[in-house]
Amino acid sequence: MSDRDTRHKHAMQRLKAHVDEKVAGATEQRGLLLVFTGNGKGKTTAAWGTVTRALGYGYRVGVVQFIKGLWECGERERLAQDPNLEVAIMATGFTWDTQNREADTQACREVWAEAARMLADPEVYLVVLDELTYMLKFGYLDIETVKRAIERRPSEQTVIVTGRNAHRELVAMADTITEMQEVRHAFNDGLQARRGIDY
Amino acid sequence: MSDRDTRHKHAMQRLKAHVDEKVAGATEQRGLLLVFTGNGKGKTTAAWGTVTRALGYGYRVGVVQFIKGLWECGERERLAQDPNLEVAIMATGFTWDTQNREADTQACREVWAEAARMLADPEVYLVVLDELTYMLKFGYLDIETVKRAIERRPSEQTVIVTGRNAHRELVAMADTITEMQEVRHAFNDGLQARRGIDY
C-alpha cells in the first residue's frame, strides 16, 4: 500500500470513529420540526424532496402551500396521483399581486384550517407548511395559534416550515434549522426562471 | 379601507414593482449550473425536489449518486418506476466505511463514466451529481475532467452539484449557488436520523 493510500485509510478510520460516535449518541426517536429559511434557492425544493422521500416509504404526507398556490408546480403534478399525498393550496396567489390584506387574511385562515387538521392527525407522518413564515410576517396568522398547533401535534409527526425570516419563536422550537443562503442567483444575472427547475 | 389595509396595499404595490422589474430583466434562457453546498441539511434533498419537479413536466432526468449509494433512499424508491428517470450509483457506500482509496477511486471512475454520458446527452434535461464535491476533495476525480464535461454539456441541460466544500472552480462556473448553513441539527441533540425524513 502506498503512503498516500495509508494516509487515506487512517484519515477514513478517524472519520468513521467520529461518525460512529455521533450515531451512537443519537438515541431519541420522535417527529421533528425542521425549518428551511434564508434568502437562497432550495427551501421549498428541499421540502418537496422530503415529501418525495416520505412517500417513497408509503407514509402519509400533507402539504399546505401558502402564497405560491397558483403557480405551476412540477412536483405537485408529479406526485398528485399518490393516494398518500394531500395538498391544500391558498388559492389567492402572490400577496403582492392581490394587494388586498383582507382577502389574503381570509384565504390564509381557510387554508390554515386544513393545516390544523393535518397537524392533529396521527396518521399524517409529515406536514409541510410551505411559505408559512410570510403569513406570520404579514399578520395573516398569529404565532400563538401556529405554535400551539405544532406543539400539540402527534409525537411521531414531522413538520417542515419554509420561508424567509422565520419567526424567532419558530426558530426557538425547531429541532433542525437550515439557513439557505444565496451566494449567487442566476435570476440576478438576467437568466429566466426555468420550467422544471425553478418551478 | 383601514389605515393598516392601505399601508399593506402600498407595500405590496412596491413589492410587485420590484418583482416585475426583476422578471423583465431576466431575458436569457438556457440550462443552469446549480451548486447546493454548505454544512446544513437540505442539499441532496433540494436536488431530489428538483428531480421530482422536472419529472412532473415529463423531462428526462439523470441522477448520479456518489458516496451515499448504498443507503436506503425513499425518493429513489418513490420515483424509480418513472421511465424518464435514470439513476447511477457508486456502489461502494461511504468512503469512511470502505477505507480503501484505490477501490473507491475505481468505483468513482466507473460511475463518473455514466455521468459523462448523461452530460453529453441532449435528451437529458437535468443531471444531478449528488455528493460530487467529495470526489474532487478526495482526489478520486480531477477538476479538469469535471469542468470540461459540464462546460461542453448541451445548452438546454441543467446540472446540479451537491456536497460540502464545493471546489472553487465549480463555484466560479455556477449560475446559482446556495450555501445550506447548519443553524441547528437534531442529530447533534441526540435525535436519531428518521426514516422518510432524513433518508
**Sheet hosting strand A85-89, strand order edge to edge:** A85-89, A60-65, A124-130, A158-162, A33-37, A176-184, B176-184, B33-37, B158-162, B124-130, B60-65, B85-89
Does the active-site annotation cover B45? yes
Query: Minimum mean pLDDT among A36-40, A64-68, A164-168, B37-41: which range?
Result: A64-68
Q: Is residue B130 part of a domain?
A: yes
The residue with greater pLDDT, B95 or B46, is B46
- Known catalytic residue at B53: yes
CA-to-CA distance for B145 and A158, rounded, in angstroms?
Answer: 41
Mean pLDDT of all residues in A161-166: 95
Which residues of chain A neighbour B13 with C-beta distances below 8 Å? Answer: 96, 99
Would residue B98 count as lying in a domain? yes
B138 within domain boundaries: yes
pLDDT in tens, B151-180: 999 999 999 999 999 999 999 999 999 999
B101: which chain A residues are within 8 Å (Cβ-Cβ)? Answer: 4-5, 8-9
Does A55 score more than 80 pLDDT? yes
Query: Is B7 domain-assigned?
Result: no
Is the pLDDT reported for residue A93 higher than 90? Answer: no
Q: What is the mean pLDDT of residues A140-149?
A: 96
B131 is catalytic: yes
| Mutant choice from B1, B9, B35, B78 vs A, greatest count of A C-beta within 10 A | B78
- State mean pLDDT over B27-42: 90
CA B153 distance to own-chain centroid: 16
DSSP states along chain B: --HHHHHHHHHHHHHHHHHHHHHHH--B----EEEEESSSTTHHHHHHHHHHHHHHTT-EEEEEE-SGGGS--HHHHHHTT-TTEEEEE-TT--HHHH--HHHHHHHHHHHHHHHHHHHT-TTEEEEEEETHHHHHHTTSS-HHHHHHHHHTS-TT-EEEEE-SS--HHHHHH-SEEEEEEEEE-GGGGTBPP-TTTT-
Q: What is the CATH number of the domain that holds B35?
A: 3.40.50.300
Kindly state whether B89 is in contact with chain A, defined as any CB-CB distance less than 8 angstroms. no
Please tell me if residue B171 touches chain A, with a CB cutoff of 8 Å. yes
- Contact yes or no for B184 and A176 at CB 8 A: yes
Give domain status of residue A196, yes or no: no
- Rounded mean pLDDT of chain A? 88
Give the per-residue pLDDT at A108: 92
Query: B5, A102: Cβ pair inside 8 Å?
Result: yes
CB distance A190–B100 less than 8 Å? no
Q: Tell whether the model's pLDDT for residue B139 goes beyond 80.
A: yes
Model confidence pLDDT, tens digit, residues B66-98: 986 545 677 777 888 899 999 998 877 666 666
| A93 CB within 8 Å of a chain B CB | no
Q: Is B152 on the interface with A (CB under 8 A)?
A: no
Contact A78 B171 (CB under 8 A): no
For residue A8, being part of any structural domain is answered with no
Percent share of chain A, pLDDT over 70? 93
Q: Which amino acid, one-letter code, is at B158?
A: T
- Is residue B44 flagged as an active site residue? yes
Let me know if residue B9 belongs to a domain.
no
Q: Look up cell 392601505; give the residue.
A: B6
Give the number of domains in chain B: 1
Q: Do A176 and B41 touch (CB under 8 A)?
A: yes
- Check A196 against B12: CB less than 8 A apart: no
Q: Is the CB of residue B39 less than 8 Å away from at least one CB of chain A?
A: no
Q: Is the pLDDT of residue A156 over 80?
A: yes
Model pLDDT, residue B195: 86
- From chain B, the residues in CB contact with A53 under 8 A are 45, 48, 73-75, 78, 196-197, 199
Looking at residues B124-134, what average pLDDT do you find?
Answer: 96
Minimum Cα–Cα distance from A61: chain B residue: B196
**A:B CB pairs within 8 Å:** 273
In this complex, is the C-beta atom of B29 within 8 Å of any C-beta atom belonging to chain A? yes
Find the domain containing B101 and state its range: 30-189
Amino acid type, A156: E
Looking at residues A61-88, what average pLDDT do you find? 82
- R_g (Cα) of chain B, nearest Å: 20
A45-49, B43-47, B183-187: least confidently modelled range: B183-187
User: What's the confidence (pLDDT) of residue A16?
Assistant: 78
Instruction: Over range B110-135, report the average pLDDT.
Output: 96
Q: pTM of this prediction?
A: 0.78
pLDDT score, position A90: 86
ipTM reported for the complex, 2 dp? 0.71
How far off is chain B from A26, nearest CA to CA, in Å? Answer: 4
B185–chain A Cβ distance below 8 A for any pair: yes
| B78/A187 touch (CB, cutoff 8 Å), yes or no | no
Q: Report the C-alpha gap between A81 and A114 in whole angstroms.
A: 19
The pLDDT confidence band at residue B23, using thresholds 50, 70 and 90, is: confident
> Checking DSSP bridges between strand B176-184 and strand A176-184, what pairing results, if any?
antiparallel
Considering B52, B75, B86, B94, which one is annotated as catalytic? Answer: B94
Task: Give the whole-angstrom CA distance, residue A198 versus residue A93.
Answer: 17
